[in-house]
Amino acid sequence: MKIYSAKDVATWFILKFAESGDVVTHLKIQKLLYYAEAWHQVLNNSELFKEKIQAWAHGPVVPEIFHTYKEHGWNTLPVPKDTKLPKFSKKTEGVLIQVIDSYGELPAKTLERMTHGDQPWINARKGFEPEQRCEKVMPKTEIKSFFKTKYGM
């Protein structure tokens, strides 16, 4: 199965929120990327995007996406000028729709708290203080295993 870019997945989420008249923050996009990667691995048995996920203080983060949107801080992200949705396979788009349906209504801070309870984030943060900078990668194999167990698959 094709592996996409995290930027395309983030853009898809931003445009989907805009379609429904809603907005999304950088913090929320990061959590949606984490859940999308996890669900894609469990449901489609393959990675969604090639970029790594790190265990930062506020939860899982894809550094490339952080650097793309960091200038917006805690504010809502702008809708991209090109409003055409990135193309994904039917199976991949199905996963993204499930992720937005499951987590899209939740506040970013709620998603952050949820990710703080996930074993891959906890394991990667071992030895770090709660607000301490951490760039340890959360292995995607561990994310997949955790979610397969969590959902009894």
Angle at 12 between CA 77 and CA 65, to 5 degrees: 55
**pLDDT tens track for 82-130:** 788 999 999 999 999 999 999 999 999 999 999 999 999 999 999 999 9
User: What per-residue string of b and e applies to 23-51 under the rule 16 or more CB within 10 Å gives b?
Assistant: ebbbbbbbbbbbbbbbbbbbbeeebbbeb
Q: Identify how many contiguous H helices and E strands the chain contains and give both numbers.
A: 7, 2
Q: Per-residue pLDDT averaged across 37-64, rounded? A: 97
In a domain, 90, yes or no: yes
Answer yes or no: is 41 within a domain: yes
Sequence length of the chain is 153
pLDDT of residue 153: 75
- Domains: count for the chain: 1
Residue 142 structural domain: 6-150
